[in-house]
């Protein structure tokens, strides 16, 4: 399969719990619910995109402990797993996610092998070299930047999406290297604070960059396209149960819009519609819509573009 999209980043096992309130230091709070599911930024983006009909490949390292049931599930969506590489000496990435009654989150994350991809020393680049879009999520910054350099400028769009790792694994120098070798930047409003700090900018309005997409939760998102800002509202879900992975599914919905021939603005609307389904159940990959469902929910907003 020649992929339209290749996604780099973590494939992890998510343990998602809910509590009424986060415990104070040295105290215990009972978990109201607990779910274990496939997760990780790359898995979330790639599985959602593939489920919406996008020919998608994932390039990531997991441990030999990676559950076969998750591998089978990923394959069932049509996702290409040729570059999902199992390595010894590392357990698979794991995230412990705790949501309170406001759906605020606290997360403990075990990096696993993709966080040490440079040390592993296997270059995963074949699928990306065939793709129209290449999306870099969380993972070893040096490994991702090296691949960005090799893929840049060869009739493809490279997206940089460091997610929550922007605060602790990235710095001014790494950020400059990544921005010099990518065409698109994705972040949320919390990550934007670190992005702007590293870039010495007050806001995205002042940056000369072709594509910046910042999601803002219930406030929708803002697109900066060649210096012009466009604001988009959310598309409402029937109910909101769990916000885990809403941003990742947004990315998957965006690439689905691009694959199905929509404009950038229309693709952002399909992205918002996609994430509106994901928040209706616990876990990012438990309520993935079909493309027809996305288009139906996005219909009213699309007519206004």
The SS3 of residue 137 is: coil
Boundaries of domain holding 177: 5-302
CATH number at residue 273: 3.40.1190.20
* Beta pairing class for 184-188 and 157-160: parallel
3-state helix, strand, coil in the chain (%, to 5): 35, 25, 40
CA distance 7 to 19: 32
Distance CA 39, CA 57 (A): 16
pLDDT attached to residue 241: 84
DSSP 246: H
The DSSP-derived string for 106-118 is EEEEE--GGGGHH
In the prediction, which pLDDT does 264 show?
A: 97
Q: How far apart are CA 110 and CA 256, in angstroms?
A: 30
CA dihedral 14, 20, 24, 27 (to 10 degrees): -80
47 three-class SS:
helix
| Distance from C-alpha of 83 to C-alpha of 79, rounded to nearest angstrom | 11
Determine the angle formed by the axes of helices 68-76 and 41-51, rounding to 10 degrees.
40
Q: Is residue 60 helix, strand or coil?
A: strand
Q: List all residues 6 or more positions away from 132 whose beta carbon is below 8 Å from its beta carbon.
A: 4, 5, 156, 157
> Which pLDDT tens digits describe the chain residue by residue (305 residues)?
799 999 999 999 989 899 999 999 999 999 999 989 899 999 999 999 999 999 999 999 999 999 999 999 999 999 999 999 999 999 999 999 898 998 788 989 999 999 999 999 999 999 999 999 999 999 999 999 999 999 998 789 999 999 999 999 999 999 999 999 999 999 999 999 999 999 999 999 989 899 999 999 899 999 999 989 999 999 999 998 877 788 999 999 999 999 999 999 999 999 999 999 999 987 778 889 999 999 999 998 888 77
Confidence at residue 124, expressed as pLDDT on a 0 to 100 scale = 98
Q: What is the value of pTM for the model shown?
A: 0.92
121 in the Ramachandran plot: left (φ > 0), alpha (ψ -120 to 50) or beta? left
pLDDT value, residue 287: 86
| Residue 155, pLDDT score | 85
Q: What is the pLDDT of residue 119?
A: 96
Give the count of domains, the chain.
1
DSSP-derived secondary structure letter, 286: S
């Amino acid at each position: 399969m020649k992929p339209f999209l290749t996604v780099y980043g973590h494939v992890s096992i998510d343990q998602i719990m809910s509590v009424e309130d986060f415990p104070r230091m040295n105290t215990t709070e009972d978990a109201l619910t607990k779910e274990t599911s496939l997760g990780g930024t790359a898995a979330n983006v790639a599985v959602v995109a593939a489920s919406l009909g996008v020919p998608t490949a994932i390039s990531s390292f997991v441990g030999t402990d990676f559950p076969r049931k998750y591998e089978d599930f990923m394959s069932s969506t049509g996702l290409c797993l040729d570059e999902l590489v199992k390595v010894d000496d590392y357990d698979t990435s794991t995230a412990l996610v705790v949501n309170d009654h406001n759906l605020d989150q606290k997360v403990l994350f075990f990096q696993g092998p993709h966080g040490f991809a440079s040390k592993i020393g296997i270059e995963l680049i074949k699928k990306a070299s065939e793709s129209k879009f290449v999306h870099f999520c969380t993972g070893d910054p040096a490994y991702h930047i090296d691949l960005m350099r090799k893929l840049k400028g060869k009739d493809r769009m490279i997206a940089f999406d460091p997610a929550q790792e922007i605060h602790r694994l990235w710095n001014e120098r790494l950020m400059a290297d990544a921005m010099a070798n990518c065409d698109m930047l994705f972040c949320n409003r919390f990550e934007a604070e670190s992005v702007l700090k590293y870039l010495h900018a007050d806001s995205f309005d002042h940056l000369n960059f072709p594509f910046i997409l910042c999601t803002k939760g219930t406030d929708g998102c803002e697109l900066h396209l060649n210096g012009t800002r466009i604001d988009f509202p959310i598309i409402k879900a029937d109910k909101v149960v769990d916000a885990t992975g809403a941003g990742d599914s947004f990315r998957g919905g965006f690439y689905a819009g691009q694959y199905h021939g929509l404009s950038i603005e229309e693709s952002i609307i399909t992205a918002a519609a996609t994430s509106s389904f994901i928040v209706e159940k616990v876990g990012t990959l438990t309520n993935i819509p079909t493309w027809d469902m996305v288009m139906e929910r996005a219909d009213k907003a699309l007519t206004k573009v």
